[in-house]
Amino acid sequence: MPVSRCELSRWQFDLTWSLFEFHLERLTAEDFPWEPAPLCWTVRRGADGLWRPDWEETEPDPVPVPTIGWVFWHVGWWWSVALDHARGRPPRRREEIEWPGDGQAAIGWLRGLRTEWLAVLDGFTDADLDATASFPWQDAPELTVAHTVAWVNAELMKNVAEIGQLRLVRAASAG
């Protein structure tokens, strides 16, 4: 039976999310701040009480290993901005995207972004996917909304694998 591009994109997203749920259900509060290496990026509470990620405009070499908390912030950042673009809202700057401060709140944040993204995906038609994308390729006018949808799926899959691997390494090293 033929499947539309929208249906295929939704199926791929749902598959990736189901793999994420496996890890979300097993994460503990201690997993989020765990630093797997001496050179590490994490999220830190500032003097103002807000949680902000370690960040450099030019990626350092070697690249710091992120904590699960940092990867959660990273997902929340790019997904929030992707949603802004998909809904025609002014995109937020990186500095405006805050980590919620603890693991359960971060899980709730990403589940909320999932709900928002599903509403966007479910509103697309195959014709909508052919429109020019404004994110994440501002300088590539030949790329479409379909490219953005595929990018969200790929970026989420990559970040889910990173979170899962960090969780597994922490669990194995604790025993």
CA 70 – CA 76 distance, rounded (Å): 10
Residue 89 has pLDDT above 70, yes or no: yes
User: Which residues in 37-101 belong to E strands, given as ranges?
Assistant: 40-41, 43-45, 51-53, 65-66
Q: Give me the chain's average pLDDT, please.
A: 93
Secondary-structure breakdown of the chain: helix, strand, coil percentages, each rounded to the nearest 5 = 55, 5, 35
**Digit-coded pLDDT (tens) for 11-25:** 999 999 999 999 999
Q: What's the confidence (pLDDT) of residue 7?
A: 92
Residue 51 lies in a domain: no
Judge whether 117 and 79 are in contact, CB under 8 Å. yes
Q: Spell out the SS3 assignment of 149-169.
A: HHHHHHHHHHHHHHHHHHHHH
Give the chain's domain count: 1
| Length of the chain counted residue by residue | 175
**Digit-coded pLDDT (tens) for 110-137:** 999 999 999 999 999 989 999 988 777 6
> Domain holding 107: CATH number?
1.20.120.450
* Residue 157: partners with Cβ closer than 8 Å, 6 or more residues away: 16, 19
Alpha helices, DSSP H, located in 87-144: 103-123, 126-129
Q: What's the confidence (pLDDT) of residue 174?
A: 79
Average pLDDT over residues 57-82: 96
Residue 105 lies in a domain: yes
Nearest to 64 by CA among 42, 32, 94, 95: 42
Range of the domain at 105: 5-45+60-174
Percent of the chain surpassing pLDDT 90:
85
Residue 150 lies in a domain: yes
Residue 139 has pLDDT above 90, yes or no: no
Q: What's the confidence (pLDDT) of residue 175?
A: 65
Q: What's the confidence (pLDDT) of residue 143?
A: 87
Average pLDDT over residues 125-154: 86
Residue 75 lies in a domain: yes
Residue 126 lies in a domain: yes
SS3 39: coil
**Digit-coded pLDDT (tens) for 157-171:** 999 999 999 999 999
Residue 16 lies in a domain: yes
Q: What's the confidence (pLDDT) of residue 43?
A: 97
Residue 56 has pLDDT above 70, yes or no: yes
Residue 50 lies in a domain: no
Residue 72 lies in a domain: yes
